[in-house]
Structure formats: structure tokens, C-alpha cells
Amino acid sequence: MNAKLTSTLDARLLALADDELILAHRDSEWTGHAPMLEEDIALANLAQDELGHATLWYDILCDLRGQPDEHADQLVYFRDAADWRNAQLLELPIGDWAFTMLRQFLFDQFEWVLLPTLTKSSHVAVAQAAAKVLREEIYHTRHSTAWVRRLGQGTAESHRRMQAALDAQWPLASQLFTPMPGDAALVAAGIWPDMTPLHQQWRAKVSDMLAECDLIAPASLANHDSRANHTQHLAALLADMQSVARLDPQADW
């Protein structure tokens, strides 16, 4: 792989790993505070899965950079907000249950269109990781889809809360598909899919569900900010997440 391809794949892997890590972190905040005991268990499970996926992608990234696997901890605990590449949607605070479930649904659907194409990647490690993640995503998709239905079609209040969550999240969700410099070469090498048709597939799938629940996607402009741009919530999240590790950077925790 030439240097240009390597650096573009690096950026793609980092974006995906950061997405999973930040979502895992947000989901884990529900543990002990969910609306019912079964969902304490479910969200803890989701968080562990997403954390596992993040670790998989970070490990491939570390291999690509010729660094040992332990470097994943360095990336997570000693990197400042400006260097993170997760989509803004994922760093927003957990909000209410509707907010969390809708975000999970939008992200699960993103993975649901992305992963099958990644399993065919010419980069073997990426293809294998995608296959592994896809197996777990079946359950995530089932869980978040069921919740969008229940809340979207439950009571007037649950519908109102879902609509509010959608109004806030819809413009940000597009950022998941924002093209990155050098994408064309990765697509040509069969390493990463073209995100534009995936975005259309995603929109079609998501729109069907929204229609079923009588939820209306706002007409507001899609956010195509670079993934280098963040809300103020990311720095706060990182300050908390990295606080113990940074107490004693030399220590083995």
C-alpha cells in the first residue's frame, strides 16, 4: 500500500474507531440509571460491544502504523479533543431515553449499510473485523429498531420526545457519511466503499422507519462539517474519561 492510501485508510479507521468508542462511552453512562432493569443490562451490553469494536479498529490502525496494540490505550487516554475524529452526533450527552435510542438507531443503521461492504474489503484485516462486528450488529439493530417503534408509536409524550430527538440529531447524522480527502483512491483499491451511495441506502432505510412512526425529518441543512470539528461536549467527555489515566501517565493501570 502506498503512503497516500495508508494515510487515508488511517483516517477512515480512526473515524470509525472513535465513533464506536464515544458511543460506547455514552451508552455506558446509562448503567444503573436506565428506565428498567432489563435496559440497564442491555445498554451495558451495547457499551461493551461498541467498546470491543472500537478496540478492534484501533488495533488494526496500530498495526497499520507499525505500533504495538497497547497503543490503543494511548490513543484513547492521551489524545486531546482536536485530534478526535468521531462524528458530533455521538459526543452529545445522553439526553433522555428517546435521544439515546434514536441515536443508537441512526448509528446502527449506518453500520448496517457500511459493514456488509467492508466485509468485502481487499484489506484482509478490515474485512475480517467487519464480519465479526456485523454478527453483533444484528442484535443492536433489532434492539434499537424495536425501541424506535415503541417510542415512536407509544404515547403522545414518547412521540413528542422522539420528534425532538430527531430534530436535534437529523442534521448531525449526515456527518457519518461526510467524504474524506483521498476517499476515491481507497474506493478504487477496493479497501473502503464509496460513502455516497451508502448514504442514500441509509436514508431510504431510516425514512421508512420514520414514516412508520409518523416522525418527520426536519428540512434543516445537513451537517457536512469535517470530523475535525467538535461540539463543546467532546472536551468535557474526554476530561472525565481521561482523568484517572492522566493522574499518573507513567503508571500501569
Partner 1 sequence: MTQTTDITLKLAEFEARIARGEKIEPGDWMPDDYRKQLIRMISQHAHSEIVGMLPEGNYITRAPSLRRKMVLIAKVQDEAGHGQYLYHAAETLGISRDELEQALLAGKAKYSSIFNYPTLNWADIGMIGWLVDGAAIKNQTMLAHCSYGPYSRAMVRICAEETFHQRQGKEMIVKYAQGTPNQRQMTQDSLNRWWWPVLMMFGPHDSDSPNSEVLIRWGVKTQSNDTVRQLFLDEVVPELMAIGLQIPDPQLRYDAESKHWKHGPIDWAHFWQVVKGNGPMNKERLATRNQAHDNGAWVRDAVTAYAERK
Nearer Cβ to partner 1 (88/100): 100
All three cell numbers of 150, joined, read 415503541
**Beta-carbon neighbour count of residue 33 at 10 Å?**
10
Residues in CB range of 188: below 8 A, 6 or more apart: none
SS3 244: helix
CA separation for the pair 123, 60 (Å, rounded): 10
**Binder of partner 1 out of 1, 5, 44, 185 (CB under 8 A):** 44
Considering only the stretches 1-9, 51-59, 109-117, 180-188, report the one whose residues sit in contact with partner 1 under the rule CB under 8 A. 51-59
94 binds partner 1 (CB under 8 A): no
All three cell numbers of 200, joined, read 442514500
Nearer Cβ to partner 1 (76/234): 76
Contact criterion met (CB below 8 Å) for 235 and 96: no
CA separation for the pair 205, 203 (Å, rounded): 6
Nearer Cβ to partner 1 (39/183): 39
Question: What is the smallest separation between the CB atom of 105 and partner 1, expressed in angstroms?
Answer: 15
Which of 37, 7, 80, 85 has the alpha carbon at shortest distance from 235?
Answer: 80
145 binds partner 1 (CB under 8 A): no
Nearer Cβ to partner 1 (4/142): 142
Contact set with partner 1 (CB under 8 A):
25, 28-29, 31-38, 40-41, 44-45, 47-48, 51-52, 54-55, 58, 72-73, 76-77, 96-97, 149-151, 153-155, 157-158, 161, 237, 240-241, 243-245, 247-248, 250-253
